[in-house]
Amino acid sequence: MRLLENENVLRKRLTMLQSIYKFLFNLCSSPQLPKNKDVDGILSHEEITAGLWGPLPSIHVVLFLDFDGVVHKCQNESFERMHLIERLLDASPSMFIVISSSWRECGSITYLKSLFRSPYRDRVIGATPSLYLPSGSIGVRAAECEDFVTRHKVKAFICLDDDATLFLQSTRTCFVQIITPGLMKRI
C-alpha 180/C-alpha 187 separation (Å) is 13
Q: What is the pLDDT of residue 1?
A: 60
Sequential pLDDT tens for the chain (187 residues): 666 667 776 676 666 656 665 555 555 554 444 444 444 555 544 467 899 998 999 999 999 999 888 887 776 677 888 888 999 999 999 999 999 998 899 889 999 999 999 999 999 999 999 988 887 777 888 889 989 999 999 999 999 888 877 887 655 557 676 665 545 444 3
Q: What is the pLDDT of residue 17?
A: 59
DSSP state letter for 119: G
- pLDDT score of 169: 64
What's at 33, amino acid-wise? L
Say how far apart CA 179 and CA 70 lie, in whole Å.
9
Would you say 92 and 120 are in contact if contact means Cβ atoms under 8 Å apart?
Answer: no
How far is residue 43 from each of residues 11, 125, 154, measured CA to CA in Å? 41, 17, 26
Supply the pTM of this predicted model: 0.69
The C-alpha atoms of residue 124 and residue 115 are separated, in whole angstroms, by 10
